[in-house]
Structure 1
Amino acid sequence: MSCIFCRIIKGEIPCIKIAETAKSLAFMDIAPTSKGHALVIPKEHGERLTDLSDESCADLLPLAKRVAKATGAENFNILQNNGRLAHQEVGHVHVHVIPKPNTEFGLVVGWPSFSISKEELSELGEQIRSRME
């Protein structure tokens, strides 16, 4: 398998491991945006969050929370991208835990918004609700 994160899980590629559960692994990001930037990955391979089993998903956020607490950061971001267009660089689900100590280091986010009518928003909400499993 050519997935870099699967190879890290198997021990074929070294990492600086900080925590591990039966379902997930947390390790230091080798291209950090701030001190303490870590990744939490499921041991189950899935390119997008929607590809994972509920069991794998259920383990990710609690481990990310433990990592965030352990960094001691008062301010931090939890980031999870899905697909290249959404800025996912590695095709294996991963959660970034990014301490935000100041305006210079950590995640920088632009959040463009657009206008939508209450009627459109209501229709969209109904469409999404009707597709929920």
Structure 2
Amino acid sequence: MPTLFTRIIDGELPGRLVWEDDRAVVLLTIAPITDGHALVVPREEVEQLTDAPDDLLAHLTTVAKAVGRAQQAAWGAPRAALLVAGFEIPHLHLHVLPAWDESSLTFANARQGVPGAELDAAAQRLRDALRAAGHGAHVPADPEVPAP
């Protein structure tokens, strides 16, 4: 059975995509710890970090670095944080988020029920920052209809 992320990647479910390439996608989470909190997800269904081939993991972290720099620019954050947990969905994903201090980097701070318009605005802000950083070839077209 395909994972939730595979269903989003395949277009079966909506997602706020901000990056796409042949090995990975980046989408905004619906439960952000900070505004702009994104998930770097391999297209391949790899269950967890320690199962990932080294070349795939290297690619995912390279994408995470580009996303983190764009988040820093878009939100004025002094750092970009990278978290790997993956207990909620059995499909490897790297959490990348603008960060101001270590104490806020906990899933206990994840906001639930964030209005779709707020998530759409954050996705657009990140897409714009990625384009400004020269990554336009990997940024999907702006959606005409916002995701729910």
Give me the TM-score of the superposition, normalised by structure 2.
Answer: 0.63
More helix by share: 2
Conserved 8 A contact 1:27-1:40? yes
Counterpart Cα distance in 2 of 1:103 and 1:78? 11
Conserved 8 A contact 2:19-2:27? yes
Note the aligned Cα RMSD (angstroms). Answer: 2.0
Conserved 8 A contact 1:45-1:52? no
Counterpart Cα distance in 2 of 1:54 and 1:100? 27
| Residue 36 of structure 2 corresponds to residue 32 of structure 1 | no
**1:49 Cα shift?**
1.7
Counterpart Cα distance in 1 of 2:21 and 2:2? 23
| Structure-2 residue corresponding to 1:120 | none
CA deviation vs aligned residue, 1:38-94 (integer Å, no higher than 9, x gap): 000001101112222333222100000011011123223101125xxxxx2111000
**1:102 Cα shift?**
5.4
SS in 2 for 1:59: helix
Counterpart Cα distance in 2 of 1:48 and 1:89? 11
| Structure-1 residue corresponding to 2:81 | 77
Conserved 8 A contact 2:80-2:96? yes
| Residue 56 of structure 2 corresponds to residue 52 of structure 1 | no
SS in 2 for 1:34: coil
**1:103 Cα shift?**
7.3
| Residue 110 of structure 2 corresponds to residue 93 of structure 1 | no
Counterpart Cα distance in 1 of 2:13 and 2:55? 25
Query: Structure 1's 103 and 46: CA in aligned 2 closer, same or farther, altered over 3 A?
Result: closer
State the identity %: 38
AA matched with 1:55: D
Query: Structure 1's 52 and 12: CA in aligned 2 closer, same or farther, altered over 3 A?
Result: same
Which residues of structure 2 form unaligned runs of 5+?
108-148
